[in-house]
Amino acid sequence: MKRTLFAASALLLSGSLAQANEGQWQPAQLAKLGDQLQEVGISLSAEQLANPLAFPLNAVTSLGYCSGAFISPDGLIITNHHCGYGMVQHNSSADNNLIDKGFIAKARSEELPGGPQERIYITRAIDDVTQEVLAQVGDKTGKARFNAIEDATKTLIKACESDAFTRCQVRSFHGGLSYQRITQTMFKDVRLVYAPPAAIGKFGGDVDNFEWPRHTGDFTLLRVYVDNNGQPAEYSPDNRPFNAKHFLHINGNGIREGDGILLAGYPGSTSRYRLASEVTYAKDWLYPTQAADYRQTLAIIDQQSQGHPDWAVAYASTVASANNRLKKLEGLMDGFKHTDIAAIKARKEAELPSQARLQTLEAALTKAQPQWQRQWYQQQARRSALLDTAIALYRNALERQKPDSERKAGFQDRDQAMLAGAVKRLDSRFVPQVDQAIWQAKLTAYLASRYRDPALDALLPIKDGKADLASLYQHSTLVDNQARLALLTAAPATFEQSQDPLLKLAVALLPRVLADEAEEEQTDGQLSSLRPAYMEDIIAFNEARGLPVYPDANGTLRVTYGSVDGYTPRDAVRYRPFTSVDGILEKEGEGDFAVPAPLKAAIQARRFGDYEKDSLSPIPKWYCGLVPCQDPEPFNSVPVAFLSSADTTGGNSGSPVMDGQGRLVGLNFDSTYESITKDWYFNPEITRAIHVDIRYVLWLLESVYPAPNLLDEMVIEKE
């Protein structure tokens, strides 16, 4: 009683429950963060959390582009709807549109193959290989350094990958200051189990994307299958569900405002240690250029798909991804206007005791940026999914003539299955007419740019100064999937002697593609020799001032922590940390705000069961009877989404949000609009991550789009 009274008093006095908790920590770093973890209410020991092979981190999975977690002993995985969107699209058609109507496997025999490129990864070892890489690199720079790093990486990977389902990667940290080899188990038989209708999984669409309040049921359930010996295997109807040694239990009661949370996953990339000049480059050229490109592409797909529902289904995943990226770019550009991040970084750079390393890196970046701009436009000139595939297939034929160790990364034996998957997947995500229209627009933009190159022009399909593509698509056999698949094992002569217009173009363009690649690698190699030295200065600077020191996100396993809390986006506005199902009906409208009839009926009937919460305040009802205060505001609904102060970015989509005991309470799926610039600069006052509340997920599975078979295999704890 006294402890509860004290806690409530502290919350009242604090006014705001939390500031954002900066840090995308590597697991090993958590061993030193025990006090901070306890302070936010994490009862799991720091030592336990520092071990990626122990619970709960060994229940966290990667899809290669998103995160997820096992939630049953039978290989059931929960991730975001937008992460599983490609799998839903893969199994959809105009006549059976699972995107719109959703999908529920009532039995395991009904679970659907996710697609030829879908994978699930579990990390099973993290080893420091800095000495091994740098010993081979020495004092090399430029292209020689890039090649040395690549050769060292290939050697380390080859020694690690003992079988076809062990996947290893070598990642650099702090710009190449250190290197780690990540060993993972790779599962290739991934199946779609449950996906709510898009009207739930994407409720609010791109209008609500990155916005708060949010009412999106952004979750999907998948399952990993293995062979009868329990080993990863290719897809087979005879495979059985994977026996997950560790999986997350679910806190059916959920969390309240002020509760501490853990979040683990595989964030993609951040730029928090980049220079002020790199912010300016992104703000003034890169982001506006990319945003305009996305808008143009989306407009073309929309225009071409009118009257062709099957084309719209084929490009649904592409459109969803492009819209998400466009909204983020717009948020970044707005954020740069509101907060002068370049100036903040410039002030910090000016405080560095030594300027020499900074100035050397700055000079190299100044030289590289015009090169990147030129290459961007010239690469646009060949912007075609079909042409890209033809070039990749021809290069693969050439690389396969070499010993495996001498092949370019991406074309080794270990890469052949993924390459084949990409070719197969094109069949369900490609329409020749749409691809041609996109290429026509991009090539036209190149022709109007100041980066035209006569040598490149001579290779491209240009007639009378204009793009001339129609005959390429009309006379190429590559529009047929079987023809593309046959080229996976073809000899170089097959391409070089072909009269197919797209294959002839691929053969002609490949030397130019390789020259561009070599130029990029020359620059990357130079920067990889300069950035580590600069990072040594930055790390020493931060450590001397007690500032957080953690590597930028790079697709490896990270852990962040924080508290459930709202925020103040602008003067006189305070956002509360929870939304409810009642807010869904408040937003109801046309298009992306249409509410499915079963969901609407359940809300209107108040058919909430155990998932209705009368209050989510940390202050007990009785407290204001003892101490003068405002009574906690009633909630009286099912929570849909909540905010936390955790530090997240792209790739954290689908990351499990856990309570202090490691039980699942939600899924990360977004950030607030004001938080988008956190990729460059972390502002603790306004940075908030958005999570779907597990109580909403459970309620949907129980009462709206029932899946009792799935609920039965979960461990749901209700204290």
Helix (H/G/I), strand (E/B), else coil: 188: coil
Active site residue 524: no
Closest by CA position to 77, among listed 224, 183, 184: 224
Active site residue 453: no
Q: Given the residues 208, 218, 259, 552, select the one marked as catalytic.
A: 218
- Number of residues assigned to the chain: 719
Please tell me the number of Cα atoms within 13 Å of 685 on its side-chain side.
Answer: 6
CA of residue 652 relative to chain centroid, distance? 6
Q: Which residue has the tokens 């998400």?
A: 324
Q: Given the residues 67, 74, 81, 82, select the one marked as catalytic.
A: 82
Q: How many CB atoms lie within 10 A of CB 128?
A: 12
Beta-bridge partner residues of 78: 69, 221
Give dist(CA 476, CA 483) in Å, integer.
10
Tell me how far CA of residue 676 lies from CA of 55, 193, 329, 680, in angstroms: 31, 32, 9, 9
Contacts of 399 (CB under 8 A, 6+ apart): 407, 408, 411, 412
By the 8 A CB rule, do 165 and 188 touch? yes
Closest by CA position to 404, among listed 170, 154, 150: 154
Tell me how far CA of residue 112 lies from CA of 92, 192, 217, 661, in angstroms: 11, 5, 21, 33
Tell me how far CA of residue 640 lies from CA of 41, 571, 655, 657, 700, in angstroms: 23, 26, 17, 14, 10
The tokens describing 22, both together, are: 């900066």
Q: Given the residues 476, 653, 655, 671, select the one marked as catalytic.
A: 653
Amino acid at 279: V
CA of residue 506 relative to chain centroid, distance? 31
Full DSSP string of 97-110: -HHHH-EE-SSGGG
Q: What is the largest CA-CA distance in the chain?
A: 89
Tell me how far CA of residue 229 lies from CA of 114, 240, 452, 549, in angstroms: 22, 9, 58, 44
DSSP state of 564: B
Helix (H) or strand (E) holding 95: none
Helix (H/G/I), strand (E/B), else coil: 468: coil
Contacts of 124 (CB under 8 A, 6+ apart): 53, 183, 184, 185
DSSP state of 285: I
Query: Between β-strands 250-251 and 166-173, what pairing exists: parallel, antiparallel or unpaired?
Result: unpaired
Full DSSP string of 313-327: HHTHHHHHHHHHHHH
Full DSSP string of 645-686: -----TT-TTPEEE-TTS-EEEEEEEE-GGGGGGGT---TTT
Contacts of 485 (CB under 8 A, 6+ apart): 420, 423, 424
Omega before 56 cis (within 30°)?
yes
By the 8 A CB rule, do 276 and 346 touch? yes
Give dist(CA 686, CA 570) in Å, integer.
9
Give dist(CA 74, CA 61) in Å, integer.
14
Active site residue 246: no
Helix (H/G/I), strand (E/B), else coil: 544: helix
Give dist(CA 671, CA 647) in Å, integer.
10
- State the Cα torsion 364-365-368-373 to the nearest 10°: -170
**Active-site amino acid positions:** 82, 218, 653
